[in-house]
Structure 1
Amino acid sequence: MKAIILAGGYAKRLWPLTKDTPKPLLMVGNKEIITRIIEKLEDIKEIDELVISTNAKFENKFKHYLQNITVSKQCRLVVEPSMGEGEKLGSIGGLNYLIDHLGLDDDVLVIGGDNIFEFSLRNFIDYYSDKDASVIALKKIEDRALLKKYGVCVLGKDELITDFQEKSDKPVSDLASTACYIFTYSDMMLIKKYLAGPNPPDAMGFFISWLISNASVYGYVFEEDWYDIGSFEQLDGARERYGQ
């Protein structure tokens, strides 16, 4: 299994803080957001390679970062050919770019590079193994206004996802998608079929909504802390939790 950290965005909602610094390299506590993710990946024996997907603008920032950390797993930086918001491939387009450039031949763990989470990746991968199908991590959120900012899921029997809405004004459930997914190889290969149709290449939720009509996808619900660093409010909350 490969682990892919998506870090190809430009985080305009956090400008000027992220104008020249990619969001995954922002400090929360005494370490970068992406370092917190990598530390959780280090002990997962199934993962044989770590891939960081970024853009041409921040290529050198990530090269410098990787030169100054110690990672036990093989690590690769893949650079999308974009220099600004109007050129970016989007999360789904970025995965398609990786399919073309990595020669993927295995299942993949995909994590948004702006996520801080406390749930166990070991338990998440064990859940995926039990289901033998693609799975996504979900967090229950009671704040209806906050839910409108996320993709939300409806779960049926055995946690099978029966409905998925991307950032709806009227959320159909209180289970938010947390940008942490495990896709089977066969489901990853469906990305090309998805993009061949009139489907948006940006938010991953659009692909999930499409995928549940073409494959079985299950929801892993966790109770531990989670921060989606998409706003100053979330960033401040994470820094309060982990220290400035």
Structure 2
Amino acid sequence: MFYKELTMRPFVKDVHAISILADTSIRNAIKIMDASTIGICIITGSDNEFLDIITDGDVRRAMLNELSFDASIKELHLLKRSIRQTSPITKDINESNDVLLQVMLELDLMHIPLLDQFGRAVDVALLSHLIEDKIPSVEAVVMAGGFGTRLRPLTENTPKPMLPVGNRPLMERTIEQLRASGVNDVNITTHYLPDQIIKHFGDGKDYGVKFNYIHEDKPLGTAGALKLIEKTAEHLLVVNGDILTNINYATMIEYHKNFKADLTIGVRKYEIDVPYGVVKTKNEKVKSLIEKPKYSFFVNAGIYLLNSSVVDHIPTNKRYDMTELIEKLVNNDYNVVSFPIREYWLDIGRIEDYAQAQEIVKRDFET
């Protein structure tokens, strides 16, 4: 670990820009959080007194607890307190960097609000400003070997990750998101029409990353190919090659670290509207009738972050899917956690999904 010799104060130039009142909606808090470079909000009272700090991880935990983004930050604050049963750690504005660093390392904190004599947050100590290597080493794995059967005839002569979305291949957008999140080493698993991918991307230098191609002589599933990758990083970030998303993978890495997870699954809320009245029965007796209910579930989003040691559980040279690996880890009491994706996400698995991706990119993404 490398310590920075000098950290200029303040850590955060404008604390007011990330400060919100308790009646602010979670949705508006997210906008403020995303606009900042540090991904947090400070909750203040009517007299600007400090109440709490809200992080990206807190918002995602609220999603898992079915808290609407239209709810107030106060409700998120109460949920957070009910889960953790602890008050936020704060320090005096005059506290030394050495003490701040010691507390952060001992308590595994990324941020500590710094208060003045009136209890107002006037700065936020950031671990990233005190040490050089707060983010663990991560290599990405983009699964690009599938046949894309459901997208035929589009994939008859083109591998699915190379289908144009907007004016460039889908996989270019995936690589761009990885690079923007600080992930520069990318493994590409190939099987179907690999030469098109290799010819287009080369060694990755033109895209600001370093590529390593892993060719599967036979399809090895969504996890089997990981066994072919040399272990050089602490973690592997595995992304299906047919996903369009604007997720900041750095938030997933921090989430994984905070939960001390062995494997983190990206999940997305999926809702089903039943167009009929649902009748619940016990034998012949009707117990209830619910008119046109809506059911919501968290579904597998095809994005995984795992400790490299987890690869030891994958069999060699055998088809093995992530679902099998996850089930094995859960059954053996490994720490498998879910990371709810609040950003845009689309699985381009069908013709209609591909058409939707074109509309989304035209409307929301820079092309």
Task: With the length of structure 1 as denominator, give the TM-score of the two structures.
Answer: 0.75
8 Å CA contact 2:272, 2:296 repeated in 1: no
- Contact 2:313–2:325 (CA<8 Å) still a contact in 1? no
In the alignment, which residue of structure 1 is the partner of 2:100?
Answer: none
CA distance in 2, matches of 1:217, 1:232: 33
Q: Say if 2:351 is the partner of 1:232.
A: yes
Residue 22 in structure 1 maps to residue 159 in structure 2: yes
User: Could you tell me whether the CA contact under 8 Å between 2:142 and 2:238 is conserved in 1?
Assistant: yes
Deviation for aligned residue 1:103: 4.2
> Which residue matches 2:302?
179
TM-score, normalising length: structure 2 = 0.51
In 1: Cα distance, 2:299 partner to 2:273 partner: 11
Match of 1:116 among 220, 233, 244: 244
2:255 corresponding residue in structure 1: 127
Q: Distance in 2 between matches of 1:144 and 1:204?
A: 28
Provide, for residues 213-242 of structure 1, a one-character-per-residue CA deviation record: whole Å limited to 9, x for no partner: 221111011222211011111111111111
Verify the 8 A CA contact 2:181 2:248 in the aligned structure 1: no
| In 2: Cα distance, 1:10 partner to 1:237 partner | 20
Q: State percent identity of aligned pairs.
A: 28
Task: Report the Cα offset of residue 71 of structure 1.
Answer: 2.2
For 1:71 and 1:144, how far apart are their aligned partners in 2?
42
| Residue in structure 1 matched with residue 199 of structure 2 by the alignment | 64
Residues 60-94 of structure 1: per-residue CA shift (max 9 Å, x gap): 11111113961222211111114xxxxx2221222
Corresponding letter in the other structure for 1:211 = L
Q: Matches of 2:150 and 2:268 in 1, distance apart? A: 23
Q: CA deviation at 1:104?
A: 4.8
Aligned partner of 2:141 in structure 1 is 4
SS of match in other structure, 2:150: helix
Q: Could you tell me how far apart the structure 1 residues matched to 2:193 and 2:320 are?
A: 19
Pairwise CA distance, 1:111: 0.3
The 1-side partners of 2:222 and 2:303 are apart by 12
Match of 1:206 among 319, 324, 335: 324
| Aligned match of 2:234 | 106
Secondary structure of 1:8's aligned partner? coil
Change (3 A) 1:231 1:107: same
Q: 2 CA distance for matches of 1:236 and 1:223? A: 22
Question: For 1:207 and 1:173, how far apart are their aligned partners in 2?
Answer: 25
Query: 2:314 aligns to what SS in structure 1?
Result: helix
Q: Secondary structure at the match of 1:142?
A: strand
Aligned to 2:60: none
Q: How many angstroms apart in 2 are the aligned matches of 1:135 and 1:79?
A: 25
> Highest CA radius of gyration, 1 or 2?
2
Distance, in Å, in 2 between the alignment partners of 1:144 and 1:190 is 38
Partner of 1:142: 271
Deviation at 1:144, TM superposition (A): 6.7
Listed one character per residue, the Cα deviations across residues 156-210 of structure 1 (whole Å, up to 9, x for unaligned) are: xxxxxxxxxxxxxxxx970011110001122122113xx79xxx93542232222
Selected match of 1:94 from 217, 225, 234: 225
Q: How does 1:39-58 map to 2 (within 5 A)?
A: 39-45=176-182, 47-55=183-191, 57-58=192-193
Name the counterpart of 2:79. Answer: none
1:217 is aligned, of 336, 356, 362, to: 336
- Please name the residue that 2:281 is paired with: none
1:118 Cα offset (Å): 2.2
Q: Distance in 2 between matches of 1:227 and 1:238?
A: 7
Amino acid corresponding to residue 6 of structure 1 in structure 2? M
The one-letter amino acid paired with 1:179 is G
Q: Distance in 2 between matches of 1:105 and 1:178?
A: 23
